[in-house]
A and B are shown apart, each in its own frame.
Chain A
Amino acid sequence: MTTQTNFQVDQQAVEAFSKSNNEPGWLSSLRLDALAKAEDLPLPKPDKTKIAKWNFTQFTNHAVDSEVYSSLEELPERIKTLIDADTQKNLYIQRNNTPAYLTISEELKSQGVIFTDILTAAKEHPELVEKYFMTDAVKVDEHKLTALHAALVNGGAFLYVPKNVEVADPIQAVYIHDHPGATLFNHVLVVADDNSSVTYVESYLATDDIKESVVNIVSEVVAKQNARVVYGAVDNLAAGTTTYVNRRGIAGRDSRIDWALGMMNDGDTISETITKLIGDNSYGDTKMVVVGRGSQKQNFTTNITHWGKNSEGYILKHGVMKDAASSIFNGIGKIEHGATKANAEQESRVLMLSEKARGDANPILLIDEDDVTAGHAASVGRVDPMQLFYLMSRGISKHEAERLVIHGFLAPVVTKLPIEGVKRQLSEVIERKVQ
């Protein structure tokens, strides 16, 4: 018997999808179990943004088939520019729900590094994927959207770096949304084993013909003892796309997770970036830039929670709001009891470019331990007229002066992105959005 669901994709469809992918039993069960939970669980409650009427659940297709790229030559021009083709040996490109291109160097393969699409990984490396997939970092039953994600995951990547392996060059993923009927339930799982290090950089791009659509992204990063993960991302999904994106990291003893995130979606977006500093001496750094335009509504919650002694967490968020865009920036530094000598620092700055734009920066420190240090800074304001006067007094036009101030305002994050092509992409997207 098939249970009726309120979603377009029911139990039968999920079973069929799982079967057509020859998925292992644990994944099929996990999906069906999650689907049942998704029925009853409530939506998440991002602080200060009402999302009851947002569409996260109504869409036509669970998955679509897209053409693969047999070589990088076939890529559209704007994707080509993202990739440093001469040097990029580790690259995954996904087109809608289809793994469309994959290359990984022999060197990394021989060291035991695994990099492939998530559904293939579930089949070929079930022991690893089952162990980490929505078990520690993000749980299936947190709310309706995590459960729905687990039930419907239809794309994403898996990256595993074995013990003592240091991957020097950045690993790159590109997710292209170019089918108007496609829905992305993208899952990225990065596991860096003891004493390893890796840099992963992803770009989400959409074509102009994407109208109404739903994207639900979960990224999990597990940095084991003394591991180091740098995670860079540029999200640039279309105006008609409602996005839920949850990026979460767990840092073990002496490990470090760095996020450098360019949040450039044109549609309504709920974003959570959470780093759990579990191990002693662990370190989390979250850098984020946002440009909002049109009438989009966004909520960015950035949280670093400390359990480890001597753990350090840093949050830096800079947002530019124009037109009638509005964004809430919630920054949370949380220190649990026992996390002595922890340090939680955060800074949120919002620059408003128009009368109708709205920005709200809420720094929150939740501290349950005495022997710690913490600090926060937040500001919401307009372009400083004295800065414009100074630049213009050297002959620079008002438009160019504003451009310089805005780019400068966002530079602290842009410069941190580890791949030149992606850094360029972010600069270009910013240029386009703030014009």
Chain B
Amino acid sequence: MASTLIIKDLHVEIEGKEILKGVNLELDSGKIHVIMGPNGTGKSTLAAAIMGHPKYEVTQGEVLLNGENVLEMEVDERAQAGLFLAMQYPSEITGVTNADFLRSAINSRREEGQEISLMKFIKELDKNMDFLEMDQDMAQRYLNEGFSGGEKKRNEILQLMMIKPEFGILDEIDSGLDIDALKVVSKGINKMRGEDFGCLIITHYQRLLNYIEPDFVHVMMQGRVVKSGGPELAHRLEAEGYDWIKQELGIEDETVGQEA
């Protein structure tokens, strides 16, 4: 079933400071969108605000998932409606095993009495962990506790593959990864690719796109999407950097808080 995620004129503040100044974006399932841009332009804020991060306040605009405004929902309801956010810095939670957490997450999207069977869950977990080249003992370790940076990122992708949301928002899933880990993470994202899955990848490195071919590329500066295009836009950014966009738009300082 085709789904849509529409971001309309989104304005977001943190501690009274406006970070997003009217973001507009439309995503369809089956497509991979990438948001690029230098540091401090509001990319991660966009991801966090869509999911409902407690520190960010939406002051204007809508985020419509299949026509419903998710901004009126609690964080867990947004997830149950089909959103997933792979976080840049996943929390560590002592005493809760990765496996127990994943089962709770999967079952939270199911009706009572329709919970995933333990056998089926274990089978799927084993399969996905193998695919992501993760040690089997990571299932029984406490959630993200003592995981290396790379292990945490793999674990986010494992959750993505287990939960199977309609839209995945991946916030700097590639930062801090060595080339092998980057390949594995990309492999996981490519595996998810399909008609029922839409994806918004936030990155400031072009290198991830050597492994994942995006359908659309957007550039954010000063809290807005300032340019959109196809994969060729990413290639040009790789070759020429961001300066040509700044020149084209008359931007001197691309970070939030600066005006064109």
Given contacts A397-B76, A404-B93, are A390 and B87 in contact (CB under 8 A)? yes
Evaluate contact between B163 and A394: CB separation under 8 angstroms.
Answer: yes
Please determine whether B75 and A393 come into contact, CB atoms closer than 8 angstroms: yes
| Contact of A394 with B79 in the complex, beta carbons under 8 Å | yes
* CB-based contact B76/A398 at 8 Å: yes
CB distance from A153 to the nearest CB of B (A): 38
- Whether a CB of chain B sits under 8 angstroms from the CB of A395 is yes
Q: Are A395 and B79 in contact, with the CB atoms below 8 A?
A: yes
Q: 1/0 per residue A389-411: CB within 8 Å of B?
A: 11111111110110011011111
Residues B91 and A384 in contact, CB atoms below 8 Å apart = yes
**Among listed B101-109, B215-223, B233-241, B242-250, interface-contacting one:** B101-109
- Asked whether, in the complex, the Cβ of B95 is within 8 Å of the Cβ of A394, the reply is no
Look across to chain A and name the residue whose beta carbon is closest to the beta carbon of B94.
Answer: A408
Q: Report how far A206 CA is from B173 CA in the complex, Å.
A: 52
Q: How large is the interface on B (under 10, 10 to 19, 20 to 34, 35 or more residues)?
A: 20 to 34
Task: Tell me, in angstroms, the Cα distance from A123 to B163 when the chains sit together.
Answer: 65
CA of A385 to CA of B55 in the docked complex: distance in angstroms?
Answer: 9
Contact with A412, one of B52, B78, B85, B94 (Cβ below 8 angstroms): B94
Mask, B48-88, CB within 8 Å of A = 1, is 00011110000000000000000000111011100011010
Interface size on A, residues (CB 8 A): 24
A7 to chain B, nearest CB (A): 44
- Contact A387/B105 with A393-B84, A394-B163 known, Cβ cut-off 8 Å: no
B159 and A394 form a contact (CB under 8 A) = yes
Q: Report chain A residues within 8 Å CB of B101.
A: 391, 394, 404
In the complex the two chains form, is B105's CB within 8 Å of A394's CB?
yes
Interface code A404-435, partner B: CB below 8 Å = 1, 0 otherwise? 11011111100000000000000000000000
CB of B75 within 8 A of CB of A392, answer yes
Other-chain residue from B52, B54, B80 in contact with A395 (beta carbon distance below 8 A): B80
Known contacts A389-B75, A404-B93, A407-B95; is-contact A396 B54 (Cβ 8 Å)? no
- Indicate if the CB atoms of A395 and B108 lie closer than 8 Å: yes
Interface membership of A386, Cβ < 8 A: yes
Given A395-B109, A400-B104, A390-B91 contact (CB < 8 Å): yes
Partner of B94, one of A395, A396, A409: A409
Q: B194 within 8 Å of A by Cβ? A: no
Residues in A neighbouring B78, C-beta threshold 8 A: 393
Number of A-B contacts (CB under 8 A): 80
Whether A411 lies near B95 (C-beta < 8 A) is yes
In the complex, the answer to whether B94 meets A411 with C-beta atoms within 8 Å is yes
Expressed in whole angstroms, the Cα–Cα distance for A335 and B85 within the complex equals 50
B142 within 8 Å of A (CB atoms): yes
Report the separation of the CA atoms of residues A396 and B54 in the bound assembly, to the nearest whole angstrom: 16
CA distance A392 to B94 in the complex (A): 16
Contact A390 B54, CB 8 Å, known A397-B108, A404-B101: no
Min Cβ gap B80→A in Å is 5
Bound form: Cα–Cα A387–B142 in Å: 13
Q: What is the bound-complex CA distance between A390 and B84, given in angstroms?
A: 10
Q: Which of B52, B54, B94, B108 contacts A394 (CB 8 A)?
A: B108
Q: Nearest chain-A residue to B80 (Cβ)?
A: A395
Note all chain B residues with C-beta closer than 8 A to A389: 51-54, 75, 91
- Nearest neighbor of B82 in chain A, beta-carbon distance: A395
The A-contacting residues of B in range 106-137, CB under 8 angstroms, are 108-109
With known contacts A385-B54, A408-B96, A393–B74 Cβ distance under 8 A: no
Asked if residues B76 and A392 are in contact (CB atoms below 8 Å), the reply is yes
Chain A residue at minimal CB-CB distance from B100: A404
Within 8 A of B (CB), among A344-402: 384-387, 389-398, 400-401
A387 touching B91, Cβ below 8 Å = yes
**A398 x B74 contact (CB < 8 A):** yes
Expressed in whole angstroms, the Cα–Cα distance for A398 and B94 within the complex equals 17
Report whether B93 and A408 are in contact in the complex, using a CB–CB cutoff of 8 Å.
Answer: yes
Q: A391-B101, A397-B76 are in contact. Are A386 and B108 (CB under 8 A)?
A: no
Least Cβ–Cβ distance between B63 and chain A, in angstroms? 14
Tell whether B90 is near chain A: CB-to-CB under 8 Å.
yes
Residues in A whose Cβ lies below 8 Å from that of B96: 404-405, 407-408, 411
Q: A390 CA to B86 CA in the complex, in Å?
A: 9
Contact status B79-A393, CB under 8 Å: yes
Contacts of A396 in B (CB 8 A): 76, 79, 104-105, 108
| Residue in chain A with minimal CB distance to B104 | A396
- Interchain CA distance A391-B91 in the complex, whole Å: 9
Chain B CB within 10 Å, residue with most, of A391, A398, A409: A391
Known: A393-B79, A394-B79, A411-B95. A404 touches B90 (CB 8 A): no
Q: Which residues from A are CB-within-8-Å of B159?
A: 394
- Complex Cα distance, B96 from A410, in Å, reads 10
Residues of B within 8 A of A404 (CB): 93, 96, 101, 104
A320 to chain B, nearest CB (A): 12
Chain B residues near A407: list those with CB within 8 A. 95-96
6 contacts between A and B (CB under 8 A): A394-B105, A395-B76, A395-B80, A396-B104, A404-B101, A405-B93
**7 more A-B residue pairs beyond the given contacts A386-B91, A396-B104, A404-B101, with a C-beta to C-beta distance below 8 A:** A394-B101, A395-B105, A395-B108, A396-B79, A397-B76, A400-B104, A410-B95
Point out residues on B near A: beta carbons under 8 Å: 51-54, 74-76, 78-80, 84-85, 87, 90-91, 93-96, 101, 104-105, 108-109, 142, 159, 163
